[in-house]
Chains A and B, each alone.
Chain A
Amino acid sequence: MAARTRLRAADACPIESPVFLDLNFVLRSLPLFLEGTIVTVELSALTIVIAMIWGLVVAFGRISRHRALNLVASGYIEVVRNTPVLVQMYFIYFGFAMAGFGLSGFASGLFALSLQNGGYVAEIFRAGIVSISTHQVEGAKALGMTRWLVLRLVVLPQAFVRVIPPLGNQFILIIKDTSLVSAIAVGDLMQAGKLLSERTAATYEIYLILALFYLTMTSIVAVMLRLFEARFAIAH
């Protein structure tokens, strides 16, 4: 895909932009940006899904009564939260490549983003679960529910409503963080802008488009989140 992108970037663009905002340039380069946007959306969506699942697993480890499991989960969370996601990406991308079985940039980026955000999501889930009053748990136990049943029927449905706002914030951070995969040669939105700004002088247009595209994506998620929140706030 990178080769195709490069070709298009080269023939689509003028050497010098004649006006302050060249709308012609914007129109001509739009397909390139849209192509990058698709990659960004794919990567974000996959990261969100994997991070949610993995985060729930880690959160269960974190609240488990099993000492070893608890230690591993909290150690994992501390490690991924205290190291930059860019370094994690390099570790996976260059590490596997130099060990002989290279992962693609997309796969490495997805791997690193899911690992890091899994840690953040786990903390969000844990906070949500812990925030449910112990009276509820005791009440459920008094009804003879098992620990698993208490979690599934009483704690998780209520915790879910409380974690919607912080989860949504995390989703927005994920979309923004996907821009880092441009550093490991993935043709995402950021990379499209980077390629164009290396080949043309239309930098105002490029970064305006980039900012608008990212703002649109994050705003859509923010609005969806607010609707979702409102929907569940009534049911609560």
Chain B
Amino acid sequence: MLSQLLDNFPYLLSGAGKTVEISAASIVLSSVIGLFVALLQVFGNVPVRTLILVYLYVNRGVPLLVLLFAMYYVLPFAGINVQPFLGGILVISIYFGAFMGEVFRAAINSLPKGQWDAARSLGMRRPLMLCLVIFPQALRLAAPPFFNTCMVLIKSTSLVSIIGVWELTMAGREVVERTTAAFQIFAGVGFIYFCICYSLSRCGRYLEERLRYGH
């Protein structure tokens, strides 16, 4: 029964490697985008803030799969050719950049106003204020929802298999087509995802407890 899963487990693991690659790249990129989005929302002028709101609204209302397919079908027509692997990472990063932005913005906004005033009264300029006063405190607050978003992101990387990128879910489908042992193989695939996501959420919970002093 389980032999089909065990025989193909190394193949699935190499798929998992690709999933980790895509996830890591997307997490880094979407965090950078999210940070910019949050800062623009806090400091930007009205047109910039409106633009950001539109970006957030679209990402909250349109499924990731629609965006992935749009990348796959529309960009070639616009004369831009990206590899699905790279394009997948880009689309996931832009999509989750919106959610990361919300995470960071909520953390920045939840700091008491006195912190800003105190920093300003010490004569700090904005970059210094952010680096020394705001970020160290806000990032601590942002840690739990950040890890949560990362988990959702990792699960969402499975969608790139639909536009033909080879990763864990795609590897699972290939093995199932060969062995027809769908229950075992997809249970194995699910197990690997579970290990990745669960360890991350454990990490998040550990950090949450470690960082909860001083508030």
Contacts and interface: CB of A to CB of B under 8 A. Distances in A.
Nearest to A116: B155
A201 B77 contact: yes
Given A84-B158, A94-B176, A179 B65 contact: yes
B74 A82 contact: no
Nearest to B176: A94
Interface residues of A, number: 40
A90 B77 CA distance: 31
Interface residues of B, number: 38
Given A83-B197, A204-B74, A210 B66 contact: yes
Contacts of A214: 61-63, 66
A6 interface: no
Interface centre among A85, A91, A201, A206 (most CB of B within 10 A): A91
Interface of A is mostly: helix
B182 A86 contact: no
A218 to B, nearest CB: 4
Contacts of B74: 203-204, 207
Nearest to B195: A82
Contacts of B151: 81-82
A104 B211 CA distance: 48
A83 B193 contact: yes
Interface string B57-68: 110111111100
A95 B182 contact: yes
Contacts of A204: 74, 77
Contact of B190 (A91, A201, A218): A91
B169 A218 contact: no
Interface string A90-110: 110011011100000000000
A172 interface: yes
A9 to B, nearest CB: 14
If over half of B's interface residues share one DSSP class (helix, strand or loop), that class is named, otherwise mixed; here it is helix
B198 A82 contact: yes
A41 to B, nearest CB: 14
B143 to A, nearest CB: 19
Interface string B185-211: 011011001100110010000000000
Given A90-B169, A90-B172, A179-B66, 15 more contacts: A81-B151, A82-B194, A83-B193, A87-B158, A87-B169, A95-B182, A98-B183, A176-B61, A177-B63, A179-B63, A203-B77, A207-B66, A210-B66, A211-B66, A214-B61
Pick the 9 closest A-B CB pairs, nearest first: A94-B182, A91-B186, A84-B158, A218-B61, A179-B63, A82-B197, A176-B63, A215-B61, A84-B155
22 contacts: A82-B198, A83-B155, A84-B155, A84-B156, A85-B155, A86-B162, A94-B186, A95-B182, A98-B181, A176-B63, A176-B64, A179-B66, A182-B65, A183-B162, A190-B65, A190-B66, A197-B73, A201-B77, A203-B73, A203-B74, A207-B66, A218-B61
Interface of B: 57-58, 60-66, 69-70, 73-74, 77, 151, 155-156, 158-159, 161-162, 169, 172-173, 176, 180-183, 186-187, 189-190, 193-194, 197-198, 201
